[in-house]
Amino acid sequence: MACVWELGLRGNNMKLQDQLREVKTASKELALLTEEKRNQILKNIACLLIERKEEILTANQKDIANAEELSKAMIERLTLTYEKIEAMAKQVEIVVKQKDPLRRELESIQRPNGLLIKKMSIPLGVMAIIYESRPNVTIDVACLCVKSGNACVLKGGKEARHTNQVLVALIHEGMRGIIDERAVMLIDSSSLVLELIQSNGLVDVAVPRGGKGLIDFVVKNATVPVIETGAGICHQYVDKQADLDQAIKVAVNAKASRPSVCNAIETLLVHKEVANPFLISLKQAMKEAQVVLKGDERIAQFIDVEPIGTDDYATEYNDYILNLKIVDSIGEAVAHIQRYSTGHSETIMTQDESRAQYFIDHIDSACVYVNASTRFSDGGEFGFGLELGISTQKLHARGPLGLQQMTTYRYVIFGDGQIR
C-alpha cells in the first residue's frame, strides 16, 4: 500500500511537518538523480500501469460507487477504463522521450574580468499539488515531477481516494531501488491542506488544479508561492464576420466534447447582426449534444432557453450547460470577457483579420484563439507533452505548465581567483 499520510493513519503518528522534512530531504536526492535513472522510474511506472490494470479498475469502481452526488460530467472525469489506463501509460512513455529539463545552460555571459557566468536550469524543489476528481492527474503530476527532479506532495480529491492510493503505491514500486519513495507522497486528509500550503521552508510551491473554489482557497490562504492553474470560465465570441457553420462546429466541440475540463467554454457571445440565423442553428446542434442553454430576454426572442441567473456568467459549470448573450459590438464582447474571464482561454470566430487582431490585442488571457476551439489549450496539443495544468497568472509561468515550466534557474560563476 502507498505511503498515505494522514494524522493517525500510520503507527508512528508522524506530524505533517516531520513528513515534509522527509520529502524535502528526498527532493535533494531526486535533484541529483541522472536522467537515465529518472527515465527508468517512469518506464517502470508505465509497465506497472498495464500490469495492474485490474487492481486499478477495482479501486476505481469503489470510488464510482461512492460518487452518487457528482454530476454526470464529474463522474466521467473520475471513471477509468482499460483504454484510459493504456493512454496514461502511453503519456508516461512520451515524458520519457522528452528532453531533460535539468542542467540546461539557458544563457552564458563572459565578463571582461574573465568571469564566466552560466544560467542553469534546476528543479523548483518540493511541489504541493492539490487537485480534484481525475485520478489520471496523480500519474501525470508524479511523472512530470520525477522527470523534472521535483519531489511532490499530492492531495487528490476524496472522490478518487481508493484509486489514488493504488496509483501512488504503484508509483512507489516503480521508484523502489532507485530513489527514496518519499519523493512522492499522498496526503489523504483535507484537514491537512491548510497546513501544507503554509509550510514555508518545506514546500517550495503550491499548485491548485481544479474548480474555482479550490483555486481561490489555495490562493487566499497559502503563504508559500502559488502557481495558479486556471478555473476555466472560457468564452467564444461569434463575430458578425464569422463563418457561422464553422462557429457552430467549434461551439459544440468547445462545450460538449468534455464539459468537465477547464478549457471548455461556459459562455458564448454572438453579434446582434448574425444572432437570428446563428442562434436557431446553434439551438438544434446543442440539443443533439444534450447541452442546456441559458439566456436573457434578448436571447429568448429567438430561441427557448432557461433564464440566466445573476451569477451565471461567473460560474464554471463543468457540465452540459452554456450561457448565451447577444452583444451589439466587438467592444461589448471584449468588455464582457474582461469582466468575467478567469484568464484561461477565449476564442473569436471571424473572417475579418482586423477584427481578429482587435480581439487578440484586448483579451489578456493565457490562450487567445482565432477560429479554433478552446479545447486545444492543453500541453499535449501544444506539443509540450504532459502538463501540470494551465497557468492563468503571469509569474512564474503562463499557459501550459510542462517540464520546462517546472524548473527555475540559478547562476553558476566560474573564475580564476578574481576579486572585487
In the DSSP assignment, the letter for residue 290 is T
Q: What is the reported pLDDT for 92?
A: 96
C-alpha cell of residue 192: 491537512
As a CATH number, domain 234-376 is: 3.40.309.10
Length of the chain, please?
420
pLDDT at 389: 86
Q: Where are the domains of the chain?
A: 4-229+388-414, 234-376
Q: Are 123 and 27 in contact (CB under 8 A)?
A: yes
Residue 260: predicted pLDDT: 86
pLDDT (0 to 100) of residue 315: 95
pLDDT at 373: 98
- pLDDT for the residue numbered 154: 97
Instruction: Split the chain (420 residues) into runs of 10 and give each run's mean pLDDT.
Output: 40 77 98 98 98 98 90 86 96 95 97 98 98 90 97 95 97 97 94 96 94 89 92 94 98 95 96 97 97 97 96 94 98 98 96 98 97 95 88 89 95 97
b/e sequence 344-358, b meaning 16+ C-beta within 10 Å: bbbbbbbeeeebbeb
Closest CA to 339 of 303, 323, 363: 363
**What's 52's DSSP letter?**
T
pLDDT of residue 133: 75
pLDDT at 220 (0 to 100): 95
Pair 356, 367: CB distance under 8 Å: no
Q: What is the pLDDT of residue 351?
A: 98
Q: What three-state secondary structure class fits 153?
A: strand
pLDDT at 1: 42
Q: What is the pLDDT of residue 7?
A: 37
Supply angle C-alpha 173, 175, 181, rounded to 5.
Answer: 90
Q: CA–CA separation, 420 vs 415, rounded Å?
A: 12
Q: What is the pLDDT of residue 144?
A: 97
What is the DSSP code (8-state) at residue 368?
A: E
CATH homologous superfamily of 4-229+388-414 equals: Aldehyde Dehydrogenase; Chain A, domain 1 (3.40.605.10)
pTM: 0.85
| pLDDT at res. 9 | 35
SS3 348: strand
> Could you tell me which of 420, 397, 414 has the C-alpha nearest to residue 124?
397
CA angle 199, 153, 376 (to 5 degrees): 115
